[in-house]
Amino acid sequence: MGMSEAGEIKKYLQEAVEKVKAKALAILEVEAVKSIKKNFQHGGRPEKWKPVKKKPKKYKLTKTLVNTGNLSNVSSVKNEADYSVTLISNPLTRAYARVHQEGAVINHPGRQLKFRKKKSSKTGEVRTVFASSKNKRISKVVKGKPYVVKIPARPFMIVPEEDLRKIVRIINK
């Protein structure tokens, strides 16, 4: 076997390896996004997410972390230079996504509570009620108590081991 034949074989093998890597990246790009969406369908994988304690009425029937669907809109970008796939959360939910992925403790300083006087039409009794900030008859402003909001980590941007095995099987085919 001559030097030119060995060079041709080496070139052919390098091209074949590049094709396999490109196909594997394409499969990984699609399957990783499917896996993330599956996390939302199951309410967390491999472990279920802690449910939200207080849900607004309009979200009572939805699953944890699924109100508008924006958080589950994950896209992927493949980088053929270093053979990697990067998962990207929806730009509308970046800060929110990070808080749920890692968990957070939010120290809220307390808000201003505004009150006004209200006279009952039946009894003529005057009582104090909450007022909106736009109300012109505010009689009293009180600072509310500071409080802490603890948001548990609900890692949704992960590809579980079971899905990794499935992705490897697809790539091997």
Per-residue pLDDT of the chain (173 residues; tens, 9 = 90+): 556 788 888 888 888 888 888 888 888 888 888 998 888 888 888 888 887 776 666 666 567 777 777 788 888 888 888 888 888 888 888 888 888 889 999 999 988 889 888 888 888 888 888 888 888 888 888 898 999 988 888 888 888 888 889 988 888 88
Q: Is the pTM of this model over 0.75?
A: no
**In the chain, beta strands by DSSP E:** 75-79, 84-88, 104-108, 112-119, 126-130, 138-143, 147-151
